[in-house]
Amino acid sequence: MKKMANLLFKGAAWPVLLLVGVLLSGCAVNPVTGKSELRLVPESTEINLGSEQYAPSRQMQGGDYTVDPEVAAYVSSVGNRLAAVSDRGLPYEFKIINDSTPNAWALPGGKLAINRGMLTELNSEAELAAVLGHEIVHAAARHGAKGMERGMLLQGVVLAAQVASSNSEYGGLAVGGAALASQMIGQKYSREAELESDYYGMKYMSRAGYDPQAAIRLQETFVRLAEGQNQDWLSGLFSSHPPSRERVAANRETVKQLPPGGDVGGERYRQKMAVLIRGKDAYAAYDRGRKALSKGDNEQALALAEQALAVEPREALFHSLRGDVRFEQGRYQDAVADYDRALERNGGYFHFFVKRGLAREQLGQKDAAYADLEKSVKLLPTATALNSLGNLARARGDLEKAKEFFAAAASSKTGPGEDAARSLVRLDLPSNPNQYLQIRLRLDASRYLLAEIGNPTRVPVTDVHFLVQFVDARGARRQVALRVPETIAPGASTRVSTGVGPVDNVDSLKGLKAGIIRARVAE
């Protein structure tokens, strides 16, 4: 179990690093603003944390866009042009998320992403530079790191281990260190941080030769969309980067401080985005298809998948949607063929491996299913894959491995996570009953010792035996072995009289201890 924990929670080692940062805390100068500030998170931690969370962050939001590699290269070139004139040297990276929601985000340490849906809404290279420049400042000015530091100060030492799930379809299924990515990419910045990112982002635009007026035009568009309650934008960029007329006014003042003119690159941008723009309707059909599938309308989902594929057969997501429909229809062999096509076009997205593994499991192809699910976990550990791996390991007779998988999946508060938690209890409770059941001792109305046995698990438990030990008034060590006469339902408790007493209070029984020594799951 320790090996699996090390694999899954590698990204969760950040609290230890933050603790080291606390011990080394002190004042430092912000590399962008030049202001003195308390620094609890060292730069090495920022960089390591961003690097560890970059891949899972992208996986849970749709994976990387791969249809037109030239688009990815173009976005990186614009980002690198801005990063070269920023006030802080970091290992900057720029990736395109294959999702229609207009959004962009930055992790500590310079790892940035912009959604496909944002790229199709922009009108020029200068507007792209405005978005990327803004995100570069979030990383360079340590806005994400300062968010972590505020959490550290509020909670004593480190951020809480419990992590909020993201708005993505798969955020809630992510487990282990990868679950942290959900919180980090959904982090809301303060009003001061947003204004700061606008200001220095425009300065970076000007230094890189772009017209900073594009940042004003972009913010004006954002304000109109926000005031018009545009749902796509409200659920995307605006959820973490709320626009305002204050920001527009501030940007106008900033432009007055910068040299006039600069590169706009409208036509160049449209040429680079031609493939994406041509495929916009296909992605819209895909998005509607996923919604139809989530509502159980398989026929509509399949029709929309075919519609999307007719426009852009190179997109792996479209093949996967068709596979997901066929999976729901019980056509597992056809689904495998669709997932094969998806993986031929994009072999780096966890969802394709998960679903092909689940389909192969249904077909009885146990070894192939196991291999696919393991590959998916390396890309993004999810409760779905880990629960199925646990079932497959159990069928092989490898119960210790099954326990590892179930334990990892059980941290997710989802259907697969709940299933894994029940399976783990069924496998492990007979050997370790004291780990799962609770026992509390108190006095009843007659001052006799009463044992309250609690079952916080998700399965009914029976044949519960427990032991009470204490030192009596003559100094002799005594022990009483007892059995709970009934089955304890999930989440319930029961009381058993021990026959020990009467005594003045529980503390008068020296060396008092109690523990569960045997129990089994009631099938």
Q: Are the C-beta atoms of 164 and 183 separated by less than 8 Å? A: yes
Query: What's the pLDDT at 229?
Result: 66
**Buried b / exposed e along 158-191 (16+ C-beta atoms within 10 A):** bbeeebebbbbebbbbbbbbbbbbbbbbbbebee
d(CA 464, CA 521): 10
Q: What is the pLDDT of residue 151?
A: 56
Name the phi and psi angles at 275, rounded to 5: -65, -45
Return the domain boundaries, the chain.
14-276, 280-428, 433-521
Nearest CA to 80 out of 93, 62, 89 is that of: 93
Half-sphere exposure of 236 (CA within 13 A, CB side): 25
Write down the pLDDT at residue 189.
73
Which pLDDT value is given to residue 1? 45
Q: What is residue 429's predicted lDDT score, i.e. its pLDDT?
A: 96
The pTM for the full model equals 0.85
Catalytic residues, by residue number, are 135
Question: Looking at residue 184, what is its pLDDT?
Answer: 61
Q: 15: number of CA atoms within 13 Å, CB side?
A: 15
- Which residues are CB-contacts of 44 (< 8 A; sequence separation ≥ 6)? 17
391: amino acid identity, one letter: N
Q: Which CATH architecture has domain 280-428?
A: Alpha Horseshoe (1.25)
The CATH code that applies to domain 433-521 is: 2.60.40.1620
Q: What secondary structure does DSSP assign to 68-111, as a single string?
A: -HHHHHHHHHHHHHHHTTSSS----EEEEES-SS--EEEETTTE
Q: Going residue by residue through the chain (523 aa), what tens digit of pLDDT does each one get?
A: 444 434 443 444 444 444 444 444 467 899 898 898 878 778 888 899 899 999 999 999 999 999 999 999 999 999 999 999 999 999 999 999 999 998 899 999 999 999 999 999 999 999 999 999 999 999 999 887 776 666 544 443 333 333 333 445 666 677 766 666 556 665 677 788 889 999 999 999 999 999 999 999 998 888 887 776 666 665 666 666 777 888 889 999 999 999 999 999 999 999 999 999 999 999 999 999 999 999 999 999 999 999 999 999 999 999 999 999 999 999 999 999 999 999 999 999 999 999 999 999 999 999 999 999 999 999 999 999 999 999 999 999 999 999 999 999 998 889 999 999 999 999 999 999 999 999 999 999 999 999 999 999 999 999 999 999 999 878 889 999 999 999 999 999 999 999 998 988 888 888 999 999 999 999 7
As a whole number of angstroms, the distance between CA 28 and CA 43 comes to 11
The contacts of residue 84 (CB under 8 Å, 6+ apart) are 208
State yes or no: cis peptide before 502, omega within 30 of 0. Answer: yes
